[in-house]
Amino acid sequence: MTKILEESPILLQQPLDAHTHLLRLGARQIAREVQPGQFVHIKQISSGNSLLRHPFGVAATDLKNGTVDIIYREIGAFTRTLTTLSSNDTLSVLGPLGHGFDVTCHRALLVGGGTGLAPLLFLASLLGPQKADVLMGGRTKSELFWQNLYRPFVAKIFVTTDDGSCGTRGTVMAALPSLLTQGYDRVYTCGPSPMMQAVAGACAAQKIPCQVSLERYMACGLGACLSCTCKGREKRLKVCTDGPVFWAQEVEW
Ligand code: FES
């Protein structure tokens, strides 16, 4: 697939909670091409800053207005700098990169935590309420602003919180086993690695095909530097070009 490099103006920078932000970029060509699960590689250019590129899963696109949304959490120097940018700034955006989700399902459960819910949001918008429900986990109620973002795209929203302030108390694993008996023919998951490993194990036990979207540091995003590799069942996997989406059984956890 062709990779596109766009100089993208920031059109919107919106806080979603104390540490999470939505960034809307003008990236008309990438918006046309990107599929759910693929990512973009971003570098700041308007300040002359030569920071390396950083990967972000795409959370939404708007083809009419030619925009790409990412949702990021403020962790580390790069994302701290991102929070200071405004509509006067421009980012260099390379994409779409990697392989996205296989969407040949009839009824899917999307299982996510933290910013892992961002690429799943784009997937939900493609599948729609006829095909998708979501199970989301967070530490506490304030982290689950995601419910409002998902509402137009899914039939049911299931919630867990570590402190029991919203939904079922516990991790997503407190709710998942019983949900997996309700006729889903596919599970998609993205979030912390222990969560995805547990979700993959529960799906294997119920013989439900599961796709996982792995998150790794990616220096080049193009398969050249090997900074993103992880252990696979049959070979070492490059998350940037073999993934970031894999069938769960391809990954050695
Ligand atoms: S990021 Fe360089 S090989 Fe994957």
Q: Each residue of 221-252: pLDDT tens digit? A: 999 999 999 999 999 999 999 999 999 999 99
Q: How far does the centroid of ligand 1 lie from the alpha carbon of residue 241, in Å? A: 7
The predicted structure's pLDDT at residue 48? 54
Same domain for 159 and 50? no
User: What band does 44 get if pLDDT is binned at 50, 70 and 90?
Assistant: confident
Specify if 52 maps to a domain: yes
* Domain count for the chain: 2
Mean pLDDT lowest among 26-30, 70-74, 129-133, 141-145: 141-145
What average pLDDT does the structure give for the chain? 94
Do the Cβ atoms of 59 and 31 come closer than 8 Å?
no
| Residue 140's CATH number | 3.40.50.80
Q: What is the mean pLDDT of residues 145-174?
A: 97
Q: Each residue of 73-109: pLDDT tens digit? A: 999 888 999 999 988 899 999 999 999 999 999 999 9
Same domain for 165 and 211? yes
Instruction: Tell me if the bond preceding 15 is cis, omega within 30° of 0.
Output: no
Instruction: Tell me which of 43, 53, 227 to substitute to probe ligand 1's pocket, judged by most ligand atoms within 8 Å of the beta carbon.
Output: 227
Instruction: Tell me which of 3, 52, 226 to substitute to probe ligand 1's pocket, judged by most ligand atoms within 8 Å of the beta carbon.
Output: 226
User: What band does 173 get if pLDDT is binned at 50, 70 and 90?
Assistant: very high
Round to the nearest angstrom and report the end-to-end CA distance of the chain: 29
Burial class of residue 241 in the structure, from the number of CB atoms within 10 Å of its CB (0-12 exposed, 13-18 middle, 19+ buried): middle
Q: Is 11 in the pocket of ligand 1 (CB under 6 A)?
A: no
User: φ, ψ for residue 122 (rounded to 5)?
Assistant: -65, -40
User: What band does 182 get if pLDDT is binned at 50, 70 and 90?
Assistant: very high
Domain that holds residue 136: 108-250
How is 1-30 classified by DSSP, letter by letter? Answer: ---EEEEEEEEEEEESSSSEEEEEEE-HHH
Same domain for 156 and 233? yes
Last residue of a domain, one of 52, 77, 97: 97
User: From the alpha carbon of 216, which atom of ligand 1 is closest?
Assistant: 1
Q: What is the mean pLDDT of residues 174-185?
A: 97
Do the Cβ atoms of 117 and 73 come closer than 8 Å?
no
Per-residue pLDDT at 132 exceeds 60: yes
Last residue of a domain, one of 97, 121, 154: 97
Per-residue pLDDT at 151 exceeds 70: yes
Q: Which of 242, 109, 252, 120 is nearest to 193 (CA)?
A: 252
The predicted structure's pLDDT at residue 47? 55
Retrieve residue 238's tokens.
């490059």
User: What band does 9 get if pLDDT is binned at 50, 70 and 90?
Assistant: very high
Do the Cβ atoms of 24 and 16 come closer than 8 Å?
no
Last residue of a domain, one of 39, 70, 97: 97
Report how far residue 164's alpha carbon sits from residue 234's, in angstroms, rounded to the nearest whole number: 40
Q: How far does the centroid of ligand 1 lie from the alpha carbon of residue 243, in Å? A: 11
Same domain for 141 and 83? no
Do the Cβ atoms of 27 and 65 come closer than 8 Å?
no
